[in-house]
Amino acid sequence: MAGGADWQPHARRRGGHVARPAQPLSRCSRRTCAAGLQADRDGRTGGRRRHLVPPHGGAIPHPRRRGRMVPVGASRPDALRCGGIRPQPDRRGPLSLARPAGKNAIGHDPRGPSRRTGAADGGETLGLGTAMDTRPVRDSFVSRGSVGLTPRQRQILRLLCEGKANKEIARELDIGVGTVKQHLVGLFKRLNVRNRSMAVSRGLSLLAAPDARAEQTDLDTALTDTDWLQQRTLARRPCVVLSLALPDAAPAELRTALQRALAARAFDARALLIPRDQGLGDLLFGVRRSSENDLLAAAALLSNLCQDARAAAPTGPDQLRVAIDAGMAVVSKDRRGAWTGEAVATPAVARTRHLLQQTADGELSLGAGARDLLRAFGAAPAATARKPLPLCDLPRLFLLPSRSRASLVGRDHEWARLNAALTPGAAGRVIRLEGERGMGKSSLCQAALSHCQSLGGRGLYLRTLPDAGGAPFRDAVSGAPVGLEQAIDALSAPIAGQPDLLVIDDLHLLPRPTATRVLAQASPAAARGRVVLLSGVRSAPAGAAHRADDADRAEPIRLRRLPDAAIRRLIDDLAAAADTPPDPEIRRHICRQAAGVPFFAVELARASGDELPLPLLAVIAARLDGFELDWRMLQTLAETATSRHHLAGLSEDLGQPLAQVRDAVSAAVRAGILTGGPGQDGDEPVAFRHPLIRRAVATLGI
Ligand SMILES: Nc1ncnc2c1ncn2[C@@H]1O[C@H](COP(=O)(O)OP(=O)(O)OP(=O)(O)O)[C@@H](O)[C@H]1O
Ligand SMILES: [Mg+2]
């Protein structure tokens, strides 16, 4: 996206950018500002929150933190948060993923306008760089911020977008074909595109702009129109990027087949597709809705795409070049926290494309962010190595490292029950491991499998994949895809030796009918002497449904939060493994923050500095995305210096009626994000339920 110093988002044209004025303007948040109050009285701009002022002595009051002054133009984004002038979220050369429009455009949602992804309401196009273009797309913003097409260019662009040939355009406008060509040259230059199809792509979104005059709108007018800003807020989201390319010499049929497959699979996986003019394109997972399984979803999609490539040409997969990385994306959300599909920018895309440049045909490169996620969510160490993998080794991404029970702390009681079930000669059972994210369900399943194998028994570990179609499981040892029928066969197969263990992990990811079919076989398998170990997130609605189905048959083992002593031991174990002396202060801090969740403790202990590690952000963002929340209210709360906040002050800071704030807070309390809020005896001060959630919200906001 454009560099922060000279460019700023256009206030009305979402995703658009305009030149930053020489004297930085900011929306005044001073409650006593005379100009703002006058504007209020005049009813001109809708009040002081909309009134534009030059900086008060080079600094302005922070819009939400009372008493705090922030320098205008400071690099911290929150310095300018009181108004429509939003700084660039990231200046490391992110790419614009803002919306294109039209049927084939990125983010186009064939399910119709109600679920539109922002493509239809105009504004900006994607920065359609070249295949490997990793430079910031500032140039295209230059032309975008002031596209200023002549009426004739506009007419021609419209006809181009209707798919008309030069001759037809000439006939329609009653001009010569040569003149059309001349206009096209000017038009391409204006749009900063190189060819007709790029012009069409840009044109579709420009022409879809709700107010075509917006291009000419003068800066001040644009900046005072903050309706859309009032409705939206920007957020940073953890995302996974899958970047794919084919060599120029790849057969046309292969390219076409893959392009089609990519579009269909991206749609199924709810990923955002950014096609490239020559290559295949980039897929973004998690910007519409965060999930800690985005990486698995990306890997599953890639595995399906390799099959498509093989079907199109036997050597198809050998020609594909793939890079996967994870990082942060910038998206805009509406007040309730729903993704609006606007103004998406992500340095992760630039990084992944860069990685792709260093990848050979038939190989897959993993960036540091992706490796981090893989490790945190239990991939085999081999898959987290820095070297590119041959694409045919893709299944290795799904492997789980074997794990001994000794590496788990504080789970003696749970382990004793599993151990008893796996004693040779014991009766078969169905056991259900349940607990919040990161409580160690998969780790216990892995330890059970290792134990079973060490006893000479037979074990199968099926890992559920967040995959829209195809096989719903992977064999966690071989990485091979396992279809539903195969899983059912495995459950009902005769017992070959003792103990006989079948693990199905992350059951909550299965669609309900699939889960029902699997569960129907669990009890008969146990009656035959098999130990069926099911695991799933307790709070997931799907998990709740599964529980109801097998409630009378499965024995639950609930993984509760670990006591502080166990978390301290865990931190010390990690310090010992990393050969660093344990620091009591850090240990205390991590213990406080982790609040008994081992995953939090492991990630915080691994993190360097103050930044929250990506896997943690991914988990928390996924949790927040699961509810309808007023994101802006949460961000305001997360930024306040006090840990508890009174609703009246919050309402004043947000400029919203108290009743509205009460509703928003109540929703967040019901979701388990906040505590306090409206009660029977009046409003209680609100606070985040967990300090990590507060930190994550502050990090995710802009
Ligand atoms: N008791 C424990 N001792 C040591 N490390 C643990 C323990 N429990 C979990 N961990 C670590 O926490 C991380 C998350 O664990 P795991 O993946 O098993 O959790 P999970 O409950 O399966 O999470 P999810 O709900 O995301 O599937 C892993 O890095 C694991 O090593
Ligand atoms: Mg797990």
Are 528 and 569 part of one and the same domain? no
- 210 falls within a domain: yes
pLDDT band at 31 (very low <50, low <70, confident <90, very high): very low
- 15 falls within a domain: no
Question: Roughly how many angstroms between the first and final C-alpha of the chain, as a whole number?
Answer: 15
- 403 falls within a domain: no
φ and ψ at residue 363, rounded to 5 degrees: -125, 160
Helix (H) or strand (E) holding 612: none
Do 213 and 274 contact (CB within 8 A), yes or no? no
Q: Which of 338, 365, 397 is the last residue of a domain?
A: 397
pLDDT single digits (tens) 556-565: 999 999 999 9
Are 448 and 374 part of one and the same domain? no
Q: Locate tokens 């990485």: which residue?
A: 479
Mutation test residue for ligand 1: of 400, 403, 442, 591, the one with most atoms within 8 Å of CB: 442
Higher model confidence: residue 329 or residue 8?
329
Among 661, 611, 683, residue whose Cα is nearest residue 238: 611
pLDDT single digits (tens) 308-351: 999 999 999 999 999 999 998 877 666 666 665 544 556 788 88
Q: Is the pLDDT of residue 472 over 50?
A: yes
- 160 falls within a domain: yes
Are 364 and 242 part of one and the same domain? yes
Are 179 and 123 part of one and the same domain? yes
User: What is the span of the domain harbouring residue 640?
Assistant: 627-700
Among 447, 299, 374, 244, residue whose Cα is nearest residue 382: 374
- 2 falls within a domain: no
476 lines ligand 1 (CB under 6 A): no
Mean pLDDT estimate for the chain: 72
Q: Ligand 2 mean position to 441 CA, how many Å?
A: 5
Are 599 and 517 part of one and the same domain? no
Rounded to an integer, what distance in angstroms lies between the CA atom of residue 431 and that of residue 442?
Answer: 14
Q: How many structural domains compose the chain?
A: 6
Q: Which ligand 1 atom sits closest to the C-alpha of 377?
A: 17
pLDDT single digits (tens) 685-694: 899 988 889 8
Are 213 and 268 part of one and the same domain? no
Are 149 and 62 part of one and the same domain? no
Are 429 and 574 part of one and the same domain? no
Least confident of 219-228, 267-276, 309-318, 383-392: 219-228
Beta strand pairing call for 321-334 and 363-366: parallel
Rounded to an integer, what distance in angstroms lies between the CA atom of residue 410 and that of residue 601?
Answer: 13
pLDDT single digits (tens) 68-100: 433 333 322 322 222 222 323 332 222 222 223
Rounded to an integer, what distance in angstroms lies between the CA atom of residue 670 and that of residue 693?
Answer: 15
pLDDT band at 230 (very low <50, low <70, confident <90, very high): low
- 116 falls within a domain: yes
Q: Is the pLDDT of residue 59 over 70?
A: no
For residue 578, the 8-state DSSP code is: T
378 lines ligand 1 (CB under 6 A): yes
The pLDDT of residue 57: 29
Helix, strand, coil % (nearest 5) of the chain? 45, 15, 40
| Tokens read off for 135 | 């430079």
Half-sphere exposure of residue 650: CA atoms within 13 angstroms, side-chain side: 32
Do 482 and 473 contact (CB within 8 A), yes or no? yes
Distances (CA, A) of 4 to 21, 136, 138, 434: 12, 12, 10, 46
- 404 falls within a domain: no
- 11 falls within a domain: no
Least confident of 160-174, 323-337, 406-420, 624-638: 323-337
Are 250 and 370 part of one and the same domain? yes
φ and ψ at residue 395, rounded to 5 degrees: -55, -25
The pLDDT of residue 219: 29
The pLDDT of residue 232: 58
Which class for 187: exposed (0-12), middle (13-18), buried (19 or more C-beta within 10 A)?
buried
Q: Ligand 2 mean position to 377 CA, how many Å?
A: 7
Hey, whose CA ends up nearest to atom 23 of ligand 1?
438
Q: Which of 197, 225, 253 is the last residue of a domain?
A: 225
Q: Ligand 2 mean position to 537 CA, how many Å?
A: 8
CATH number at residue 170: 1.10.10.10
Mutation test residue for ligand 1: of 602, 604, 619, the one with most atoms within 8 Å of CB: 602
Neighbours of 336 (CB within 10 A): 14
Q: What angle do CA 397, 403, 405 make, to 5 degrees?
A: 155
